[in-house]
Structures are given as structure tokens and as C-alpha cells.
Amino acid sequence: MKNIIFIAPPAAGKGTQSSLIEEKYNLPHISTGDILREVSKEDSEIGSYLRETLSSGSLVKDEIMYDLIENRLSKEDCNNGYILDGFPRNVEQAKKYDEILKRLNQELGYVIVLEIDEKILEKRITGRRICEKCGAVYNLNAASQQPKIESTCDQCGGRLQQRNDDNVESFKNRYQQYVEKTEPLLDYYKQQGVLYVVNGNGTVDEVQQQIINILEKRGGNI
């Protein structure tokens, strides 16, 4: 299996889709947002920098990302492919990632972009809840993604929490960062012939099927 990069605006479902693909193809799911949220709990200078940056919705400094990503991709579980959820996030990071791939003797693989209407994203952001124990994702604003028992994870019984950057103000900044810094990546990867576009407006299952079609070669390279 080749490596997969997911690119999408905030709350478009890249975390959910990455987890499903992780399970189906047994590939490690590397979410830079999850890693940063863990480090942000530390009582240290970097912890405090990350708490502030993440809650504002701005991007973390590139230099912090490079060591973090190279260390993670050097681990043995990445030897047979992995899913990158949240990196690269701008063209500078993509160029640095090309160098990291060379050093690790890895190939770029698939770059999959989830396209979705901005109006849908804002609704998803305010309804998103995440299990503090197992990380399962729910959405109070989507009938098919609500927990069976209020505030409780269906899978492990853990408590559901709201991310502190899942509010309208932070969303606006995150969306703007996506348009200004992340979207230019699409041209970068289109030119390399590795970009695949998925319509992210459908249900979780519909979006997943489109991704599987690409990975199992029933989709078209654009």
C-alpha cells in the first residue's frame, strides 16, 4: 500500500476518513493535530505555545513540525505505508516533506483532497464531539453521527468533549489559513500527477467509498 496524504478544510472529515482507512488497510494514522494536542498538555514552554496557537486556529511554526514528522515517519510501523492527516499544511512544508521522503526512501503516494461547502463546515464544527478516551468522533448536527447516549461514547463509554478550537471564531481563522496557506498545495501536487479529488459533502460512508475507489484504482487521476 502506498502512503496517503489527506488534505481538507477544518471539520471536513479527514480525521474520520483517516481512521476508517487505518482500520481497513491496517496503516498507521498520523494526525499532526492529535500529536500537537497531546504535547499541548505539557507544562512547558512548548506546551504553552501550542495551547495558545491551537486555540486561536493559527498554524504552528514549521520548524516544530519537521522534527515531529520525521521522527514519527522513521518508526517501523510506517515502513509499509501510512496515512498523513494534517501534514503538509503549506507549500514550504510540502517541499520539506519531499526531502524527508528522500531521506527515508519513501514515495509520495496518494494525495487526496476532500472538497466541501464552507456552510456545511461551520455546522459540523459546532456539533463535533470527540471521545476523551478513544478519540471516536461524533456530530450532534448530523443524525447519523450522534451518540446513542448523550455525551457518552458508543464504543468505550468515555465522555464526549468539544475541542477548544471548535468554535465559530476559531473556525473562521482555521478556514482562512486553509484557503491562504493549504489550498496552494493542490496545484503543487496536481502538477506532480498525484492529486485525487473527493466530494466531501456526502455521508461518511459515501465519502469513504470514493476514497476506496481511488485506492483500489477505480477512480481517475486528475
Contacts with ligand AMP, residue ranges (CB under 6 A): 10, 32-33, 36, 53-54, 57-60, 65, 86-87, 89, 93, 174
Which residue's CB is nearer to ligand AMP, number 1 or number 68?
A: 68
- What is the set of active-site residues? 14, 89, 128, 163, 174
Which residue's CB is nearer to ligand AMP, number 10 or number 200?
A: 10
Least spacing, CB of residue 216 vs ligand AMP, in Å? 26
Closest by CA position to 33, among listed 106, 94, 16, 152: 16
Distance between the two ends of the chain, CA-based, in angstroms? 20
Least spacing, CB of residue 163 vs ligand AMP, in Å? 8
Q: Please identify the residue of the shown chain whose CB is closest to the bound ligand AMP.
A: 33
Least spacing, CB of residue 148 vs ligand AMP, in Å? 25
For 137, left (φ over 0), alpha (ψ -120 to 50), or beta? Answer: beta
Grouping H, G, I as helix, E, B as strand and the rest as coil, residue 76 is: helix
Least spacing, CB of residue 16 vs ligand AMP, in Å? 12
Which residue's CB is nearer to ligand AMP, number 126 or number 213?
A: 126
Handedness of CA 22, 123, 9, 37 (dihedral sign): negative
Q: Rounded to an integer, what distance in angstroms lies between the CA atom of residue 18 and that of residue 24?
A: 10
**Amino acid identity for residue 200 in this structure:** G
Q: Where do runs of H (alpha helix) occur along the chain?
A: 14-25, 32-39, 45-56, 62-73, 91-104, 118-127, 168-177, 184-191, 204-215
Which residue's CB is nearer to ligand AMP, number 143 or number 189?
A: 189
